Amino acid sequence: MPKIVNARVIITSPGRNFVTLKIECDDGTTGVGDATLNGRELAVASYLADHVVPCLIGRDAHRIEDVWQYLYKGAYWRRGPVTMTAIAAVDTALWDIKGKLAGLPVYQLLGGASREAVTVYCHANGTSIDDTIAAALEYQQQGFRAIRLQCGVPGMASTYGVSKDRYFYEPADGDLPSESVWNTSRYLRIVPELFKAAREALGWDVHLLHDIHHRLTPIEAGRLGKDLEPYRPFWLEDATPAENQEAFKLIRQHTSAPLAVGEIFNSIWDAKDLIQNQLIDYIRATVVHAGGITHLRRIAAFADLYQVRTGCHGATDLSPVCMAAALHFDLSVPNFGIQEYMRHTPETDAVFPHAYSIEGGMMHPGDEPGLGVDIDEELAKGYEYKPAFLPVNRLEDGTMYSW
């Protein structure tokens, strides 16, 4: 058996903070797992180093399911983003090791490719509708067939999804949380204008997506869905906070716009009612925050029974290790829908050399054994951790609101 002899928690900040777990076996085989929880990185690093790593030493690296159950049931305190991100890192690293030992890319261990490549959507954003459309046209020319559109809301100093940098999006920006201001009625007026302009400029052969980022009540989301229906959105993401899964019934009663939810979910229990009542069309749970490849496969298998497809979160705070794992999962899973893609900075890409590639809006995990991604630990040492918080959001009268 490949015995686990070492596991290191590596914290590095090549452009942004990442936490990576590297597991090593007695024969020298190593595997990597992403453990990054944006804005709460050190909590997961401590959970791993203090409470997980000591329990891994001496275990059989091949027993992925058993290790998963051990960490989940054995914690007693089940679920939650910190615990599930830590479990995900272990699980991902063990799949990487299994692939390397088998001499096969991980997607082959998951049943093989169900498609030739993975369709991704990219992000077009701008402070105005015109800027956003210009960015979207560029992406369309590069061959992307699915584009997320986010634009500034007039009168608001900053808006979720609109980056300060033209190419690289980074919401975690302060050593204390920065504060933005929100106005729902202005937002509800601008988004249909954006989609109208987008259909005029981009035509109908491209999928258009939008992220509401938990900012609407169910009835407001129903209104927006109705207003966007003429422009055939591919999905509306995180229309309303999803702690109350039943809330989506009200949205469904008012619009046929497809709904996507789940980037902040950490287990199947967050999505159970949404899926079995067919209140959503895409489940956005991802490898790093939802318990790894093992648990994400369970969520996807359950979702498949209800014709709910996958749409993994893929923002820049998910490291290239998570991206690689997501691509192996996406290529294999029967009910794949779409994969989010945001480019990492060159510094991030250099610290995490990877075999995955992108061409014309499609990605492939590559055919290296394992996940085909690693961390250059020497290079990583040069980028020290910097505290960085996600912003908070208030209404104009000062009321705390969802970011």
Query: What amino acid positions are annotated as catalytic residues?
Result: 160, 213
| Calpha distance 99→347 (Å, rounded) | 27
- DSSP letter for 323, please: H
> Please, which residue, 23 or 388, has the CB nearer to ligand EZ4?
388
Two tokens, residue 53? 């790593």
Task: Give the residue nearest to Co ion (CB).
Answer: 211
Two tokens, residue 71? 């960490």
Could you give phi then psi for residue 199, rounded to 5 degrees? -65, -40
Cα 367 to chain centroid distance, Å, stands at 23
> Please, which residue, 140 or 339, has the CB nearer to ligand EZ4?
339
Residue 317 makes contact with Co ion by CB under 5 A: no
**Span 204-233, contacts to Co ion by CB under 5 A:** 211
> Please, which residue, 170 or 273, has the CB nearer to ligand EZ4?
170
The nearest distance, CB 323 to ligand EZ4, in angstroms, is: 13
**Span 81-120, contacts to Co ion by CB under 5 A:** none
> Please, which residue, 24 or 237, has the CB nearer to ligand EZ4?
237
Residue 270 makes contact with Co ion by CB under 5 A: no
227 binds, among ligand EZ4, Co ion, none (CB under 5 to 8 A by kind): none
The nearest distance, CB 121 to Co ion, in angstroms, is: 11
Stretch that binds Co ion, among 88-96, 191-199, 255-263, 395-403 (CB under 5 A): 255-263
List 182's β-bridge partners, or say none.
395
Two tokens, residue 282? 């895409």
Residues forming contacts to ligand EZ4 in the complex (CB under 6 A) are: 38, 171, 211, 213, 263, 313, 315, 317, 340
| Calpha distance 51→19 (Å, rounded) | 16
| Calpha distance 324→258 (Å, rounded) | 27
- DSSP letter for 229, please: G
| Calpha distance 203→136 (Å, rounded) | 11
- Which residues are CB-neighbours of 149 under 8 A, at least 6 positions away? 124, 125, 132, 136, 194, 195, 198, 208, 209, 210
- Which residues are CB-neighbours of 214 under 8 A, at least 6 positions away? 238, 240, 241, 242, 402, 403
220 binds, among ligand EZ4, Co ion, none (CB under 5 to 8 A by kind): none
The nearest distance, CB 181 to Co ion, in angstroms, is: 20
**Span 172-211, contacts to Co ion by CB under 5 A:** 211
Stretch that binds Co ion, among 52-60, 61-69, 133-141, 257-265 (CB under 5 A): 257-265
> Please, which residue, 12 or 38, has the CB nearer to ligand EZ4?
38
> Please, which residue, 170 or 229, has the CB nearer to ligand EZ4?
170
34 binds, among Co ion, ligand EZ4, none (CB under 5 to 8 A by kind): none
Helix (H) or strand (E) holding 378: helix 377-381
Q: Which amino acid is at 320?
A: P
The nearest distance, CB 241 to Co ion, in angstroms, is: 12
Residue positions counted in the chain: 403
Nearest-10 Cα torsion for 334, 338, 342, 346: 30
| Calpha distance 116→300 (Å, rounded) | 19
- DSSP letter for 191, please: H
> Please, which residue, 15 or 171, has the CB nearer to Co ion?
171
38 binds, among Co ion, ligand EZ4, none (CB under 5 to 8 A by kind): ligand EZ4
Burial (CB < 10 A; 0-12, 13-18, 19+), residue 155, is exposed
The nearest distance, CB 161 to ligand EZ4, in angstroms, is: 7
Stretch that binds Co ion, among 27-35, 143-151, 215-223, 263-271 (CB under 5 A): 263-271
Task: Give the residue nearest to ligand EZ4 (CB).
Answer: 315
| Calpha distance 92→324 (Å, rounded) | 10
> Please, which residue, 255 or 316, has the CB nearer to ligand EZ4?
316
The nearest distance, CB 76 to Co ion, in angstroms, is: 31
The nearest distance, CB 39 to ligand EZ4, in angstroms, is: 7
315 binds, among Co ion, ligand EZ4, none (CB under 5 to 8 A by kind): ligand EZ4
The nearest distance, CB 153 to ligand EZ4, in angstroms, is: 16
In the complex, the residues that contact Co ion under the rule CB under 5 A are 211, 263
